[in-house]
Amino acid sequence: MGRLVGRGDVILLIGGLGTGKTCFTQGIAHALGVTDYVTSVSFVLLGEYQGRLPLYHADLFRLDSLEEVAELGLDDVVYQGGVLVIEWAEKGLSAFPREHLQVHIEYLGEHIRRLFFVPQGEHYREVVVALGKMLPEREGERWN
């Protein structure tokens, strides 16, 4: 995923506690060339990391309302030319740009996750198709 994202991209991560949202973000950071270790930002709400593009990592876990999400001004972060990854995005879906990529992560077992990609907009549909072409096909998986 990190090889496919570009300036202004918004990735919304949705999944329960311990499903791997921060790990997914670490993978994006690695592909962007970020050398700092990406950690959960639950207490600072927004972390910024430098790579080939800036990575902005938000965590909405501690927020309780759409108003609190809107007050963060994450829409302004999008216009700073980096990639914005938001954990617990379901807490503020209507506060984010209309075009984005939702990644739903399900915990199936200790080392097993199921990911559902929900692209909103043509650009993100193209990202999902390109991602599908990069990954080996396995029985039971489908990309569409």
What is the per-residue pLDDT for 92? 86
pLDDT band at 42 (very low <50, low <70, confident <90, very high): low
77-to-56, 73, 84 alpha-carbon distances in Å: 8, 7, 7
- Does any domain span residue 30? yes
pLDDT reported for residue 134 = 87
Place 65 in a pLDDT band, splitting at 50, 70 and 90: confident
Amino acid in position 32: L
Would you say residue 142 lies in a domain?
Answer: no
Residue 22: pLDDT band (50, 70, 90) is: very high
Tell me the CATH number at 120.
3.40.50.300
Residue 100 in any domain: the answer is yes
Rounded Cα gap, residues 36 and 140, in angstroms:
35
Domain-located, residue 78: no
pTM score, whole prediction: 0.89
> Domain residues for 46?
10-16+24-72+86-134
The count of structural domains within the chain is 1
53 found inside a domain: yes
77 token code pair: 């972060």
In angstroms, the CA 138 to CA 91 distance is 33
Distance CA 23, CA 17 (A): 12
Whether residue 95 is contained in a domain is answered as: yes
- Could you write out the DSSP letters of every residue in 77-119? HHTTTSEEEEETGGGSGGGS-SSEEEEEEEEEETTEEEEEEEE
